[in-house]
Every structure is written in C-alpha cells, then in structure tokens.
C-alpha cells in the first residue's frame, strides 16, 4: 500500500517538474528525480488518496476515454449556459435535487462530483455517503431514480470500470 | 505554416474571451447565488481553456506550463464552486423564487453553523 502511494506521488511530482521546466537536460532531470523522490518518501505515508488507484491497462484506457467524454460534456454545458444567459427571458428552472451513486471509493466519488459540477447546469452542493445533492439550473425531475439516470449515469458507468 | 497556426490561435483566444464575457454577463443576470456560481464556473473553465489553448498554438514553446495550468484549473475550479455553494446553503442564503425543489434540508447542522456565526 505504501509503495503504491510513494510511486504515484513520485510520478505526479516528476511530471509536474518536467512540465514546469520544459527541457530535458540531464542535470535538470537528475534534480527533479532527487527532489520528487525525497518529497514522496516523506509525504508518502500520510497521503491516502492514491490507496484506491489501480495500475492496469484497462484503467488507463478508460481514464483517457473518460477525459474525452468529459470534454464533450464540458463544451455542451458551456453552450447551454451561454444560451440561457443570452436569452432575454432568462429560461431557468432551478432547484436542488437528490441523486444516488453506486461508487464506493472516495476518489471515484470525488471525480464524479467534480465532473457533475462542470457539466450542463448542474452543481454538486453536498455529498452524504452515496447521496449527492445537486443544484440544477433546469430541474428535469424530482424523483431520485430519474434524476440519477439523467445526470449521474453517463459518468458513473465509466468510473465504475476505473475505480470499481 | 506558422502563420496559419498563429491565426487559429488568435481565433481561439478571441473565442475564449467571448465565453469569459458570457460568464461575467451570467453573474450579472442570474437571480441568486447558486445560479451565479453555475454561470461563473462553466464559462470560466471553457473560456480559460480556449485562451490557454490558443496561446499554445501561438507560442508552442510554452506547452508544458500551459498544460499544467489547464490541469490545475480543471482540478480547482469545481472544488471551489462546490465549497462556495455548500457554505452558502449551510448559512441559509435563500434560493430564488423561481426554485422548484430544495431537497437538501439540514436543520440541525444549519442551526449550529448559524449559532457559530452569531457568536463571532
């Protein structure tokens, strides 16, 4: 468990270092490797968010697929909100509704909540175990199952494959 | 070739600023805090993304830092808007009259938070 945390933290820190420096000289790389190694050894035991991470070909594939689904939803959400803002009558129908998720892991739930916040007219207000409270700019239905099908499912079915 | 990329980049930066402008317009037009957060988060995310991506095409040497900026915006933006909305609901900032449903109801917690604020 600890080795996985340290490895994940090391890889993330190293890639941030590389992106920040943007050059591949040997001295820069050596400093980066030493620094991220030391930091991940010190902090590795305290950070628990990577505990649920799985390293496998499938999870990498679905992560990339998820990114594409997410970006498409992001563009759609922006166009939708832009249309509502520009319409003179301001066609909104807001409210806070409940939805349910089947995801168990903290990391999966966090990514789900963040994705919902960034997609069409929805904003996660609170989360309690498996109940998500979502503020919608245009409420489709107050029923918990219908709302779950409309908002949560499209992300959930991919996230289930990554985080189980 | 470089010229074409520069033009596409400039168009993307312009498009990004249009979305940022729409977000600002949403902040003014929306009736209550929650809807304002909605307009603010969404438009600013795509607006910033398009602006940074356009910059990436104009000055390709900066790609590392620009990609890093995009990742950080993608991670922090939804978290901050979620926390703002949650805090607002806890201290009972009212929703607009157009609201159809409010299923998040926490009398006890809300009461406690209100007491704490009064004491300060």
Q: Chain B residues with CB inside 8 Å of A19's CB?
A: 64-65, 67-68
Band (pLDDT 50/70/90 cuts) for residue B4 is confident
A17-26, A92-101, A115-124, B89-98: least confidently modelled range: B89-98
The residues near A20 (Cβ < 8 Å, ≥ 6 apart) are B64, B65, B68
pLDDT number for residue A52:
62
Mean pLDDT of chain A: 78
Q: Does A135 touch chain B (CB under 8 A)?
A: yes
ipTM above 0.95, yes or no: no
| pLDDT 10s digits, B17-65 | 988 888 888 888 877 888 888 777 777 888 888 899 899 888 888 888 8
Query: Where do the structural domains in chain B lie, given as residue ranges?
Result: 2-119
Q: Chain A residues with CB inside 8 Å of B64's CB?
A: 18-22
Q: Chain A residues with CB inside 8 Å of B65's CB?
A: 19-20, 22
The residue with tokens 């505990």 is: A51
Tokens, residue A51: 């505990």
Closest CA to A124 of B84, B51, B54, B60: B84
Instruction: Describe chain A by its helix, strand, coil percentages, rounded to 5.
Output: 65, 15, 25
Contact B64 A81 (CB under 8 A): no
The residues near A140 (Cβ < 8 Å, ≥ 6 apart) are A146, A147, A150
Test the A interface: residue of B21, B23, B31, B35 with most A CBs within 10 Å: B35
Contact A22 B63 (CB under 8 A): yes
B73 pLDDT higher than 80: yes
Instruction: Report pTM.
Output: 0.75
Compare B111 and A72 and report the one with higher pLDDT: A72
Whether B33 contacts B93, CB under 8 Å: yes
Q: Chain A residues with CB inside 8 Å of B37's CB?
A: 123
Q: Does B94 touch chain A (CB under 8 A)?
A: no
The residue with tokens 């289930």 is: A160
Query: Where do the structural domains in chain A lie, given as residue ranges?
Result: 2-52, 57-163
């Amino acid at each position: 468990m600890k080795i996985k945390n340290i490895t994940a933290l090391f890889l993330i820190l190293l890639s941030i270092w590389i992106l920040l420096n943007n050059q591949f000289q040997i001295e820069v790389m050596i400093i980066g490797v030493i620094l991220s190694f030391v930091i991940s050894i010190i902090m590795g035991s305290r950070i628990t968010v990577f505990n649920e991470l799985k390293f496998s070909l499938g999870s990498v594939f679905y992560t990339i697929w998820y990114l594409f689904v997410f970006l498409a939803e992001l563009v759609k959400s922006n166009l939708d909100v832009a249309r509502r803002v520009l319409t003179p009558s301001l066609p909104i129908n807001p409210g806070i509704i409940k939805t349910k998720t089947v995801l168990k892991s903290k990391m999966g739930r966090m990514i789900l909540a963040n994705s919902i916040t960034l997609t069409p007219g929805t904003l996660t207000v609170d989360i309690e175990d498996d109940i998500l409270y979502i503020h919608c700019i245009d409420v489709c239905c107050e029923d918990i199952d219908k709302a779950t099908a409309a908002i949560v499912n499209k992300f959930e079915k991919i996230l289930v494959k990554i985080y189980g | 070739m470089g010229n074409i990329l520069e033009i596409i980049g400039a168009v993307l930066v312009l498009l990004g600023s249009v979305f940022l402008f729409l977000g600002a317009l949403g902040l003014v037009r929306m009736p209550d805090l929650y809807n304002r957060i909605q307009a603010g988060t969404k438009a600013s995310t795509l607006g910033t993304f398009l602006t940074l991506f356009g910059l990436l095409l104009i000055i390709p040497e900066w790609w590392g830092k620009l990609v890093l900026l995009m990742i950080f915006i993608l991670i922090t933006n939804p978290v901050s808007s979620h926390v703002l909305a949650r805090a607002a609901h806890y201290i009972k900032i009212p929703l607009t009259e157009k609201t159809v449903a409010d299923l998040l109801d926490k009398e006890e917690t809300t009461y406690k938070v209100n007491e704490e604020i009064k004491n300060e």
